[in-house]
Amino acid sequence: MSDDIRRRSVQIDVGGIVRRSVASLYSHLVTRPTGRAVRLAIETQLAEVEETAFSVIDLTEVTVLDFSCADEVVAKLLLRYMKDDRPREAYFVFRGLADLHRDPIEAVLERQGLAAVAQGPGEGFELMGTRSPEEGEVWRLVEEQGSVPESQLAALLERRMRGALESLVGRRLVFRTRTGDVHALSRLVRDPLGS
């Protein structure tokens, strides 16, 4: 990916944050204050990044996740970085999703009308939360391609799908460079420089 935007992949181990932030021997996210402490620790890490941050929020070591923590760590984090006055450019992929994480995360995403890119125990990525059928279809197309040059977008997308692409860009579920190329977040967290 050749483009003048500086970017960096940021790996954030939520289990490690819990152990450091709340002095717990366990990676349990079960109270709103714990979730808030984790979210603030994530935001502190992001504040140190000068480039556009493609952040992997790794939940692999989190053994318990309740709804209030999912709201703090997932929904509030996404909402803060979607705003026009966000503290920096940041995109998020939630990694290590197990069945125990799925219900609370889906519930808070749906309640807030949000969606997020997630990776379960395998290599595949998925779109969780609320989205239109067109958004789901365009997201899958970009995910399969990895990246789509601006010059090929019109040929790949039907006219009705262009609005869905704009929505995905606005919701920060895919990344558009200044040159108009569109990239799957899964590709950028693995290879932030596109080399």
For 86-139, write each residue's pLDDT tens digit: 988 999 999 988 888 899 999 999 999 999 999 987 778 999 999 999 999 999
Mean pLDDT value of segment 27-39: 76
Q: 3-class SS at 93?
A: strand
Mean pLDDT value of segment 76-85: 93
Q: How high does pLDDT run on average in the chain?
A: 84
Given this model, what pLDDT does residue 25 score?
Answer: 42
Place of tokens 């714990």: 34
Mean pLDDT value of segment 23-49: 76
With b for 16 or more beta-carbon neighbours within 10 A and e for fewer, the 55-67 pattern comes to bbbbbbebeebeb
Given this model, what pLDDT does residue 22 score?
Answer: 55
For 40, half-sphere exposure in the C-beta direction (CA atoms, 13 angstrom radius) is 9
> Which range among 14-18, 69-73, 101-105, 145-149 shows the weakest confidence by mean pLDDT?
14-18
Alpha-carbon gap, residue 28 to 109, rounded angstroms: 20
Residue 68 · residue 105 · CB < 8 Å = no
Residue 7 or 167, more confident: 167
Query: Among residues 120, 136, 141, 146, which one has the least CA distance to residue 171?
Result: 136
Given this model, what pLDDT does residue 63 score?
Answer: 80
Confidence grade of residue 82 (pLDDT, cut at 50, 70, 90): very high
Given this model, what pLDDT does residue 65 score?
Answer: 84
Mean pLDDT value of segment 64-79: 91
Alpha-carbon gap, residue 117 to 93, rounded angstroms: 5
Question: Sign of dihedral through CA atoms 34, 32, 26, 63?
Answer: negative
- Reported pTM: 0.85
Residue 139 · residue 157 · CB < 8 Å = no
Task: Give the pair of three-digit tokens for residue 95.
Answer: 């990694």
